[in-house]
Structures are given as C-alpha cells and as structure tokens.
Amino acid sequence: MLQFEGIGPRFRQTRTGKLLYDLDALYDELDDGIAVFQRENNLTCPQGCGICCSQFEPDVTEPEADFLAAYVMLYKPDLIKTIIENRSTKAGCFLFRETDPQHCPVYSGRPLICRMFAFTAVNDKQGKPRFSLCRHLPTAGSRHVNSEDMSKAFSIQPPVMQHYSSRVTGLANGLQESTPLRMALVRSLDKLRALAVYLTEDVLDGSTVQTDLLPEDSGIIPTRRHPNNRNRYF
C-alpha cells in the first residue's frame, strides 16, 4: 500500500483521488497473490535480470498512468523533468535503467502489466487459465502448462491476467484505450498539475490545507500557493 495520505483530503475526494486509492488496493491484492504464488512454487526472476523491461514498453490505461504520475510526484520528483523532456528513441521502456541494480526507478508505482509479467496465468479461448514460464527462468520440464494440468503443476494457482486487467478497465469507466507509457505519463503529470492548481485556488479562502504533491524543484509547480504556508499547495 502506497502512502497517498500526504496528498490532502480535497484531492482524495476527486474522481482521480478515489481512483488512486482503489487502484492501490487492487495492486496490493495482485502483489500479494503473486508473492504467494512465487513463494509456494519457488519461482523468482534471475538476479539482476531486466530483459523484459529492456525490450518492452507498456501501454497503460489512464488509471495506471495517473497512479504512476502521483507516485512520481510524491516519491520521485527528481524524475519529473526527465520524463517530460524525454526524447529517448531507444527500444524498451524509457524508464529502464540498465546500470541500476533495481532497474526500475518507479517500481512501487509501476503499471499493471509490469506487476503481472511472468507470474500470472492467461485465460485460454475457453476461459480457462494456462501458464507459460518466462524463457529466462530455469526449468527442468515444459515451459507451458495447459488448463488441465494447472492444479497438478502448482500447489497455489497464479493470479489470472484478465481478471485484473478487466478490473482496471472498470476503474477507467470501461474505457479500454491504452497509450504508450511515455505519452500517458506526461499526460497524467499534466492532468494532476492542473488538478493541483485548481484545488489550490479552491482553498485560498483559508480552509485547512495539506500536502506537497508538487515539490518545488519539480518544474511543474502550481503558480499559486496557500497564502499561510509557502510550502503547501492544497
């Protein structure tokens, strides 16, 4: 569970604010399910491997992009300028850091597919889950487990990809449109900035305010702040 407590009560009451909390709970449930599946079946990524991120950049829905944008604003504000000014044309995820042992600088805020990759099942045409092991994971047997063999192969079953992607789509009011991460993230940063400005202006009457959702060095600071506290925006 991420700490979105610092972003202020007014933001939490907005559609975007509620969505962040809902998605946080959904991500927690998924992460827990994957952790149990990995532990019980002794599956883990090879140490230092980041091949999936170096060859792939996710498409994300609006809720995923908003979640990641809020995470960046709150926890990784030093990345904001890099994200906005990004001109990278390299293949793979533009956030991937090959030389960084952690590889993903936004790990706790990463999108859905990044959480699900390698450790979830996929429903087949009959709607039954099947599983394929990442080709970079060692195995003595087959890499593919069909739906009939799932219970024999795994003591604990993996979460099913479609189950979570449809729930995220539900949070997006059923809109399935997804956008490459580098574009979606800039758009969400811009949206949250506009929301921050709006909410700041909304509380300039002296109501209770909190948070520093947009740090001073972020490069996308709202132009108006609460008059009683220069470090507060909401």
Interface ranges with ligand SF4 (CB under 6 A) = 53, 58, 93, 95-96, 104, 106, 110, 114
Q: Encoding tokens for residue 79?
A: 């990345």
Which residue lies nearer to ligand SF4 by CB, 75 or 154?
75
Closest CB 204 distance from ligand SF4, rounded Å: 36
Which residue, 95 or 186, has its beta carbon nearer to ligand SF4?
Answer: 95
Q: How many CA atoms lie within 13 A of 144 on its CB side?
A: 3
Nearer to ligand SF4, 58 or 159 (CB): 58
Cβ contact 153:131 at 8 Å: yes
The b/e string for 216-229 (b: 16+ C-beta within 10 A; e otherwise) is eebebebeebbeee
Contacts of 126 (CB under 8 A, 6+ apart): 147
Smallest distance, ligand SF4 to C-beta of residue 114, A: 3
Could you give the CA distance from residue 192 to residue 206 in angstroms, rounded to a whole number?
Answer: 22
Residue placing its CB nearer to ligand SF4 in the complex, 69 or 114: 114
Q: Which is nearer to ligand SF4, 102 or 223 (CB)?
A: 102
CB of 13 to ligand SF4, least distance (A): 29
Tell me how far apart the terminal alpha carbons of the chain are, to the nearest angstrom.
23
- Minimum distance from CB of 94 to ligand SF4 (Å)? 8
Nearer to ligand SF4 (CB atom), residue 72 or residue 196: 72
How far lies 126's CA from each of 51, 119, 160, 164, 199, in Å? 31, 21, 14, 18, 48
Please, what is the minimum distance in Å from the beta carbon of residue 107 to ligand SF4? 6
- Of 101 and 174, nearer to ligand SF4 (C-beta) is 101
C-alpha distances (whole Å) from 177 to each of 26, 63, 78 are: 19, 11, 29
For residue 131, report the phi and psi dihedrals to the nearest 5 degrees: -135, 140
200: nearest Cα among 230, 228, 226:
226
